[in-house]
Amino acid sequence: MGFNKPLNVHMEDNNDGTVSDLDNDLQWSIRDSRQELGKWLNWDEADAYVKACNQQNYLGYNDWRLPTKSEVRSLFKKRKAYQEIFLKLAQRKERKVSNYQAGGESSYWSSETRYDSYAWKCYYPTSKEICVDKTVSTTGTSARLVRDL
């Protein structure tokens, strides 16, 4: 598989709907569950989405999973690359009053759970992590698929 010119030092577009995170030996799906399904998911739905993608050999792979909290955090730390690759936002000049950009805050489910009924989700752009009831359908939360390289 041929790689494009690196998007930055750490991320490479694989030209197959995925991006390789070379720092962490991970491959991310460029489109999340919201983009694919047109709706937000609770954790149980996100887990089912991962299983369905693996059964369908999504983007040619069947070993997708939900990321850990630290994997999502590392993705969000690469703010410029994240905005360009996953949000398709052009880099804007920093403003003195407010740096708000359309799209607002969103979050991704992590694979990490607590007490069998709670799961962690991570917010962009703050990288805030909260633990919520897995069955609650939370606006703004989707699944971002990842796999090990």
pLDDT tens, 85-130? 877 754 445 544 444 444 445 788 999 999 888 999 988 878 889 8
Report if residue 34 sits inside a domain: yes
The answer, yes or no, to whether residue 83 has pLDDT greater than 70, is yes
Classify residue 53 as left (phi > 0), alpha (psi -120 to 50) or beta. Answer: alpha
Report if residue 94 sits inside a domain: no
Strands 129-133 and 106-114: unpaired
Report if residue 6 sits inside a domain: no
Report if residue 23 sits inside a domain: yes
Report if residue 137 sits inside a domain: yes
Report if residue 118 sits inside a domain: yes
Q: How confident is the prediction for the chain on average, in pLDDT?
A: 82
**How many distinct structural domains can be found in the chain?**
1
Residue 137: band (very low, low, confident or very high) from pLDDT cuts 50, 70, 90: low
The answer, yes or no, to whether residue 14 has pLDDT greater than 50, is yes
